[in-house]
Amino acid sequence: MPFDVLIQQICNGLVLGCVYALVSIGYTITYGIIRLINFAHNSIFMLSMYFAIVFVTMLALPWWLGFIIVIALTAIMGVLTEKLAYHRLRNRGAPTSTIKIAALGVSYLIDNVVIVIFSGRPKQFPTVDLLTDVFEIGPVRLQRTAIIVPLVVLVLLVGLTYFLNHTKPGLAMRAVSRDMEAARLMGIDVDKTIAFSFAIGSGLAAIGAILWGQRYTSVIPTVGSMPGMKSFIAAVIGGIGNIDGAVIGGMLIGMIEVMVVAFFPGLSSYRDVFSFCLLLIVLLIKPTGIIGEKVADKA
Between 73 and 106, CB nearer to other proteins = 106
Q: Does 299 bind other proteins (CB under 8 A)?
A: yes
Q: Are strands 123-124 and 134-137 parallel, antiparallel or unpaired?
A: unpaired
Distance CA 163, CA 151 (A): 18
Query: What's the distance, CA 81 to chain centroid?
Result: 16
Stretch of 11-19, 99-107, 130-138, 189-197 contacting other proteins, by CB under 8 A: 99-107
Distance CA 69, CA 53 (A): 12
Total binding residues for other proteins by CB under 8 A? 44
Distance CA 295, CA 40 (A): 22
Stretch of 65-73, 89-97, 151-159, 242-250 contacting other proteins, by CB under 8 A: 89-97
Distance CA 274, CA 67 (A): 32
Q: Does 192 bind other proteins (CB under 8 A)?
A: no
Binding track, positions 102-141, relative to other proteins; x by CB under 8 A? x-xxxxxx--xx-xx--xx---------------------
CB-CB neighbours of 198 under 10 Å: 29
Q: Does 97 bind other proteins (CB under 8 A)?
A: yes
Binding track, positions 39-78, relative to other proteins; x by CB under 8 A? ----------------------------------------
Between 43 and 214, CB nearer to other proteins = 43
46-83 as b/e: b if 16+ CB within 10 A? bbbbbbbbbbbeeeebebeebbebbbebbbebbbebbe
Residues 206-245 binding other proteins (CB under 8 A) are: 225, 229, 232-233, 236, 240
